[in-house]
Amino acid sequence: MDFNLSSEQKKLVASFRAFGTEVFTPDHVSQWCKDQGLPDDVMKRFVDTYYKFSDKESTSAAGHSLLDQALIIEELSRCAGATLPFQNDLFNLQIVDALSEAGNVDSAVADYRETGRLMFALAISEPDGGSDVMSMKTSTRTLDGKIVLNGRKSYVNNGEYAPYIVVAAIDADAQTDDSYPALALWLVPRNLKGIAAVPIDKIGQDMLPFASLSFQDVELKPEYRISAEHGDFRRLFQMLEYGRVLLCASSLGMAQAAMEDACAHARSRKAFGVQVGRFQQIETMLTDMELRLTNMRSILYRAAWAVDKGDSERRLAVALMKRYIPETSVEVASDAMQILGGLGYTESSRTCRVWRDCRGNQIAEGTDQIMVYIAAPLIVEKYRDF
């Protein structure tokens, strides 16, 4: 396998490196974490740069492969040393492509390309379900000729602010012979009567505000439905693969930032008259950190490639990636904090922010434990004939 980036990918990364270096200064990042989001002009510049390098002949909303998107998120997360809203935007574009038959999302995508504003929030997880989407209780039902939505969703990024919400709900009207209940996806205007949002205070990932949403007798129009008539859980599971790749790209980029900060400190800091980077313990830590980064990068690119190509082992590749990268990025950040000493445990160091954000990624988009549940049966099947 050729592990070298193409010339186009190198240009893509270089462009976003220039963008990220200019925009994500320490003062800016600190302020935008307090503001829980990025200014509109930064979002617009991102969109302009993103589509500048997209395939002009492509009819997809994403405009780039998932691997290209991972490269972008990795680079910008490295520049910022923080979780950024862009990964959600790119995930949303992949969702739009997965639901390409639904023309009612076209206006949201067009507005995003024109302004850089939020397209929609994604409401899947539930308070009692978390990563177990099969325990979903939010549902739609036809009552007196009206489609009514009821239920609760949690950990919804930008749930308070997005103009639309893509809600996954059990279709109580549908009959199915499948082992999975019928599932539908709805593009719901945020301002409908019966929708309430409560912000969630959390540790880290400050630029991604979370909210809990409740839906009480929310009346939906048939045209709000954006999945096929009998949408199912299998399709949802495939869509989540995109989000997991982009989340892991963010973890890798932030871990790289922590590594760079640790190396800079190891070069400049002296203790007992010796550069600390020459201490054997520090040399060992830096070597192991670089090894982890190399492994994470290989696993990430393999998973993104597998999803792009529809490879038969894509589910396993994504599960192994999600099992390994967030946890390993926390280890890299933790070692970087130790190398930085007392500075690493203060708010003046971005490394402590990297640690918090990467730790959150161990839980987001399916916990480490859920990935074991997904991966193990696939591994057993893979070696059936050996």
Say what percent of the chain tops pLDDT 90. Answer: 65
pLDDT score of 252: 98
Mean pLDDT, the chain, as a whole number?
Answer: 90
Which residues make Cβ contacts (< 8 Å) with residue 348, sequence separation at least 6? none
pLDDT score, position 76: 98
Determine the pLDDT at residue 152: 95
Taking Cα atoms as reference points, which of 272, 288, 274 lies closest to residue 338? 288
d(CA 99, CA 302): 25
CATH of domain 233-381: 1.20.140.10
Q: What is the pLDDT of residue 213?
A: 96
DSSP element (H, E) containing 275: strand 274-275
CA atoms within 13 A on the CB side of 83: 27
Q: In whole angstroms, how far apart are CA 197 and each of 3, 149, 155, 193?
A: 45, 15, 11, 12
Signed CA dihedral, 226, 61, 208, 235: sign only: positive
Nearest one of 239, 189, 227 to 102, comparing CA atoms: 227
Provide, for the chain, the percentages of residues in helix, strand and coil under a 3-state DSSP scheme, each rounded to the nearest 5: 55, 15, 30
pLDDT by residue (tens digit) across 171-199?
A: 888 876 666 778 888 999 999 999 999 99
User: What six digits make up the tokens of 175?
Assistant: 């009959």
pLDDT score for 153: 95
User: Coil, strand or helix: which one is 143?
Assistant: strand
Domain 121-224 CATH assignment equals 2.40.110.10: yes
Helix (H) or strand (E) holding 357: helix 350-361
Say what the pLDDT of residue 30 is.
94
Distance, CA of 86 to CA of 70 (rounded, Å): 11
Query: Taking the domain 7-115, which CATH number applies?
Result: 1.10.540.10
The answer, yes or no, to whether residue 236 has pLDDT greater than 80, is no
pLDDT band at 228 (very low <50, low <70, confident <90, very high): low
Q: Which of 47-56, 205-214, 281-290 has the lowest mean pLDDT?
A: 47-56
pLDDT score of 1 more than 70: no
| pLDDT tens per residue, range 116-156 | 988 999 998 888 766 666 778 999 999 999 999 999 999 99
pLDDT band at residue 279, thresholds of 50, 70 and 90?
A: confident
Q: Which residue has the higher pLDDT, 273 or 52?
A: 52
pLDDT value at 229 more than 60: no
E-strand ranges in 232-279 read 270-271, 274-275
Domain boundaries, the chain: 7-115, 121-224, 233-381
pLDDT of residue 260: 97
